[in-house]
Chain A
Amino acid sequence: MTTDSVPKPAAFQLDPTQLQRDYGSPRIVFGLIMTGVSILFMVLALIPLGLVLYYVTIEGGSKLSWDLFVALPPPPLVEGGGFGNALVGTIIMVAIGAAISVPVGVMAAIYLAEFGTGKIADWVRFANKVLSGVPSIIVGVFAYAVLVVTFRTYSAWAGGFAMAILMLPTIIASTDEALKLVPQEVRQASVGIGANDYQTVLRVVLPAAVPAIVTGVTLAVARAAGETAPLIFTALFTQFWPNWSNWLLEPTASLSVMVYNFAIVPFENQQEMAFAGSFVLVFFVLLTSVAARLATARRVY
């Protein structure tokens, strides 16, 4: 071979006895500096989360009591009370939102991932991206125009509807991704033993994607639960419990709006409840995110 006769370039002439790290070499120094810089920025990025958790824990965690979760908000200048109605209201509206957006979102994603071909699916995906970028206050105004104006009342339904719209893009996108992760071979295997398309999707593909779908749904729920703007236009707030006898067709309290209302009033008891409410909200979001991670850990593909 002619290549044998070409002399080795200087850069490739290595001393076989020198395997130690050379801290003088510019390459090593550059690597160390870059590692340091990226650690620094990683810490910077974590600081806000740490501070928020620290602040709400100090300010809100210390005020926690059983009463907070079961009692009604007090009038100004009265001690005690709680935000039981806001907690129940948030749960109701998140449940309404999920009950609408999960079936719609999962079915839409099944269409996109399994049946949608070419242009239409691409457009739907694009529209979904646009929807996820719509500010939540606009979603609130939309729900206001559609439900509040039509039924002439603020209601938990309008709030849940707004939340559904907020959850929808996340659920569609994450389910779409989850379904696409299921290998094509498994679909062919199912089709190959005489299953039709819907049997294949519902009995093989969807079950395999469930952990990832659960993750997406949980994150969507966590995000929507903390939203304030859309609820101000749709559910408003009230000092009272959600009214089932009136089919929830009344203003309904929620944690986020409670925090918003009480944080800006000059009464100390109310401010403390706003902090306690923030604490509960933040830890709800944290817990659901952790739950989502756990669900993902059991993923099939």
Chain B
Amino acid sequence: MADEQAIFPDSEPVIDVENWNVYYGDFLALKGIFLKVPKNKVTAFIGPSGCGKSTLLRCFNRLNDLIPIFRAEGRMTYHDQDLYASDVDPVQVRRRIGMVFQKPNPFPKSIYDNIAYGARVNGYQGDMDELVERSLRQAALWEEVKDKLKQSGTAISGGQQQRLCIARTVAVQPDVVLMDEPCASLDPISTLKVEELIHQLKENYTIIIVTHNMQQASRVADLTAFFNVQVVDGKRQGYLAEVDRTEVIFQNPKEEATQQYVSGRFG
């Protein structure tokens, strides 16, 4: 396996995963993951369905804690602190590692309150109007909704909802933004807007994005991780097959399976 430290030597790792195993009950969903996520870069997770991309993504902000049968082994650090140490508060983790979900899931509140909510629960004291406008501008949504901020966030188009969810996440200014197939329910134009947004966000944030769209991965990502499924004793388990600079993964991968997957000749 490539040494990621050497892939981006000038970029310190924000998240460091060492020998990470994930179980759902008895089922080993992810096995032996080693990964360093570089700071202020976009890392893409690609791979066939069911290989554990979402599972790993949701480990980073401890969202899997909500699943009773979830269990993990190994070491996962964020700025050298063990994310799964017993004294770590998941609420503090999620405050720093925000998430955008595959399905747009705005709160059933006004557009304004969708953004203000996160700021309020985190004790934000500053100018709320200013924060809402800035976040909506960042998500390329301001022009479309500035006249209807009091309308419900669930009563706008799916693409607008997804950008609202992105605005909601960046409003609390996390350190890392996790995106699980953020464009899966978007049209090509909204998709491009989200990709532009990702390019801008990279300045200040570290981004990890799961995508099934190879062009998207090659357009937005600096680092690409290819996950695959192997069948051991009749059970399907996910593993990290290859991780490298995006150009390398797409043009000159070391693994045969990676080559087949990115060129669409998989399975």
Contact = CB atoms under 8 A, between A and B. Distances in A.
A192 B121 contact: no
Interface string A182-207: 01011111111111100100011001
Given A191-B66, A192-B63, A207 B101 contact: no
A192 B107 contact: no
A66 interface: no
B91 A192 contact: no
Contacts of B165: 189
A207 B107 CA distance: 10
A194 B168 CA distance: 11
Interface in A7-65: none
A192 B180 CA distance: 13
Nearest to A192: B99
B63 A193 contact: no
Contacts of A199: 121
A193 B172 contact: yes
B18 to A, nearest CB: 25
Interface centre among A194, A199, A208 (most CB of B within 10 A): A194
Nearest to A300: B108
Contact of A203 (B94, B99, B105, B117): B117
Contact of A195 (B61, B101, B121, B171): B121
B54 to A, nearest CB: 12
Contacts of B107: 186, 189-190, 204, 208
Interface residues of B, number: 27
Interface residues of A, number: 21
Contacts, number: 74
B118 interface: yes
Contact of B105 (A188, A195, A196, A207): A188
Interface string B51-75: 0000000000101001010000000
A195 B94 CA distance: 8
A203 B101 CA distance: 20
Nearest to B65: A191
A191 B108 contact: no
A8 B121 CA distance: 67
A182 to B, nearest CB: 8
A203 B121 contact: yes
Contacts of A117: 68
Contacts of A189: 101, 105-107, 165, 168
Nearest to A197: B91
Contacts of A193: 94-95, 98, 117-118, 121-122, 168-169, 171-172
Interface string B161-176: 0000100110110000
A244 interface: no
Nearest to B96: A194
B42 to A, nearest CB: 19
Nearest to A182: B108
A209 to B, nearest CB: 10
A191 to B, nearest CB: 6
Contacts of A195: 91, 117-118, 121
